[in-house]
Structure 1
Amino acid sequence: MIPTVGLMWKLMTAALAVLASMVVPAQNAAAAERFWELQLNLCNSGIAGCYQQGRSVPEAGDLIVRLRPDLVTLNEICRNDLPDRLVPSMVTAWPGDRIHQFFAPALRKDTGTPVKCTNGQDYGNAVIGRVPAAAYQGVKTWTGRYTSQDTGNEQRTYACVYAIGHHLGCTTHLSASSEPVALAQCRSLLFDVIPQIRAAEGVTGRTVVGGDFNLEYDTSDPENAQNCVPPGHVRKGDGSVQHVVFSNDLAFVSTQKYSMRYTDHPGFLVRLTKP
């Protein structure tokens, strides 16, 4: 039987409806932009027993190129590790994007001057991130020393970078000798410092904090890492002392650990998406 014009029109309409239903999920999937955070402690001061003659830095650079994270938080590095290998690795991973970097040294209790690596460079923490060139509006940076400190000479600090209109990223390396002090430092950063930055800059979301908190997730411990997670935020940990805390406008996808030969901490990747 030859289809009538009316029947052909109904068949065509039904086919278009099926195609439309197939296209919509693809458009929705494209709207969720990936935002991956890589947390690294490179043990590169030259002092700690885990030091491996600087080989953790090129190892980390290779991992950055391989994984292409949007944000990298770094602990226990020397200042020149950034321009020597880590920032160029981010540039290689994201050619054409704008790459930001910020290094903040730990400070000596006795002098207030930066702690030094054995090579004479400042020792501390850093944030590296990327912003699509068309979205780049500049960056603002913050660092500070926590009020609560342990009895050692190394005073713990934080480093924060606001890529204007895009994301706020922070890192820190908390007290290794006192869990109560580490928790107080963590709460100071998450409950006080970051809300102050967000209020001052009008940041409404896309906030990620990665670091070596020297705290574990343990609900039986009063110094549980979860106790420094403010409302509206989510924490993911590596099963030990590295954690990533992010604002809940970012959607969690998955985590993965990467074995590192030349440092005593794994690379810890947290895969997120953002609107």
Structure 2
Amino acid sequence: MVRRHGKVAASVMAAVVVFTSMAAPVRAGGPSVEYLEATAVVVQPRERAPAAAAERFWELQLNLCNSGVAGCYSQGRSVPEAAGLIRSVRPNLVTLNEICSNDVPSQLAPALAQAWPGDHVYHLFVPALRRDTGTPVKCVNGQDYGNAVLGRVAAANYRGVNAWSGRYTSQDGGNEQRTFACVYAVGDHLSCATHLSASSEPVALAQCRALLFDVVPNIRSAEGLSGKTVVGGDFNLEYDTSDPENAQNCVPPGHVRKGGGDVQHVVFSGDNAFVSTTKYGLSHTDHDGFLVRLSKP
């Protein structure tokens, strides 16, 4: 694994780009994912950080239906709506599905930076990939289409970020191949976002298990992290104990899953204490905003 760290600019609004090149590790029985290069962007604090608040850790899961292809598309209005929710709720972490590549740096990351003006905010966008060409799937506006993870690290705790991404080996027969985005905020937490197969529940479950049983432990091992992990996304799996593709079947030991009552789920390591959940009805996407309130030790 090779990391190349960008130079920090002098401006307090500067973005620091951290490059992480991944080589797929060897696994018995063959890899369940292909690791890809990933680039995370960190926005420096705009002002001095206030005294540290209680260690609450809130995760907001959003599917914004902004490709322009699906029937739930609302001419891009889901993005400013989500930015307003981020400013209002002030989550520590946001996992994002069905967005375009410019949605995060133009509106969503600035919203989180406004919510936490004294702290560092990172973001990582990873496109879905075309089966036929291996190139990014596109939104109708020509931008790359995919998922992102967006997070905040208290200024006092910030020690850099490392980015990880990949494509699942198990895919359905469609042209859109599903991927994941993960960021390790050094010494603080690991966060991942994903959007799983919509046409095959067995494939979605295989992808979910690849991420949670393979990728996350591999990243934690490589980074020397034992816990503090949160994974959010549209899993395209429901919680149903009578279904072999029950979303609970991709939850590793020592982890907890909370669902929004449909296909959105958040899975977190047991060292994060669960507090509560809230769903927010949104006008410009067909998925609720799903907030999971946690606290860190």
TM-score after normalising by structure 2: 0.82
1:85 is aligned to 2:123: no
Matched, 1:172 2:211: no
The alpha-carbon deviation at position 96 of structure 1 amounts to 1.2
SS of the aligned residue for 1:116 comes to: coil
Structure 1 letter corresponding to 2:82? A
Whole-angstrom CA distance in 2 between matches of 1:87 and 1:196? 27
Q: CA-to-partner distance for each residue in 1:27-76, whole Å, 9 max, x for gaps?
A: xxx99610000000000000000000000000000000000000000000
Distance in 2 (CA, whole Å) between partners of 1:98 and 1:33 is 16
Pairwise mapping of residues 59-78 of structure 1 onto structure 2 (< 5 A)? 59-78=81-100
Q: 1:246: which partner in 2?
A: 268
Q: List per-residue Cα deviations over 1:243-262 (Å, max 9, x = no partner).
A: 00000000000000000000
Correspondence 1:24-173 to 2 at 5 A: 33-173=55-195
Match of 2:114, SS?
Answer: helix
Taking the aligned partners of 2:163 and 2:175, their CA distance within structure 1 comes to: 25
Displacement of 1:161 in angstroms is 0.3
The structure that is helix-richer by fraction is 1
Q: Secondary structure at the match of 2:181?
A: strand
Q: Secondary structure at the match of 2:67?
A: coil
- Partner of 1:183, secondary structure, is helix
Structure 1 segments of 4 or more deviating over 4 A? none
Superposition pairs for residues 214-225 of structure 1, below 5 Å? 214-225=236-247
1:194 to 195, 216, 227: 216
Task: Output the CA distance in 1 between the equivalents of 2:234 and 2:279.
Answer: 14
- The structure in which a higher percent of residues are strand is 2
Length, aligned pairs only: 246
Give, in whole Å, the separation in 1 of the partners of 2:267 and 2:137.
26
By how many angstroms is 1:135 displaced?
1.1
Range 210-219 or range 126-135, more displaced: 126-135
Secondary structure (helix, strand or coil) at the match of 1:223 reads coil
Per-residue CA shift, 1:94-119, capped at 9, x if unaligned? 00100000000000000000000000
After TM superposition, the score normalised by the length of structure 1 is: 0.88
Question: Using the alignment, how far apart are the partners of 1:198 and 1:225 within structure 2?
Answer: 22
Question: Which residue number corresponds to residue 258 of structure 2?
Answer: 236
**Amino acid across the alignment from 2:275:** V
For structure 1, the residue ranges without an aligned partner over 5 or more in a row are: 1-29
- Separation in structure 2 between the aligned mates of residue 76 and residue 31 of structure 1, nearest angstrom: 32
Cα displacement string for residues 180-214 of structure 1 (whole angstroms, at most 9, x for unaligned residues): 00000000000001100000000111100000000
Q: Take 2:170 and 2:103, find their aligned partners in 1: how far apart are those partners?
A: 28
Cα-Cα RMSD: 1.0
- 2:111 partner letter: S
Aligned to 1:25: none
SS at the partner of 2:216? helix
SS of the equivalent of 1:160 reads strand
- Tell me the residue number matched to 1:26: none
Query: Which amino acid is 1:186 matched to?
Result: C
CA distance in 1, matches of 2:273, 2:106: 33
The residue type paired with residue 86 of structure 1 is L
- Mapped pair 1:257 → 2:279: yes
**Considering only CA atoms, is the larger Rg found in Structure 1 or Structure 2?**
1
Q: Within 5 Å, which residues of 2 pair with 1:1-12?
A: none
Corresponding residue for residue 19 of structure 1: none
Q: What secondary structure is seen at the aligned counterpart in 1 of 2:62?
A: strand
Counterpart CA distance in 2 for 1:257 and 1:56 is 16
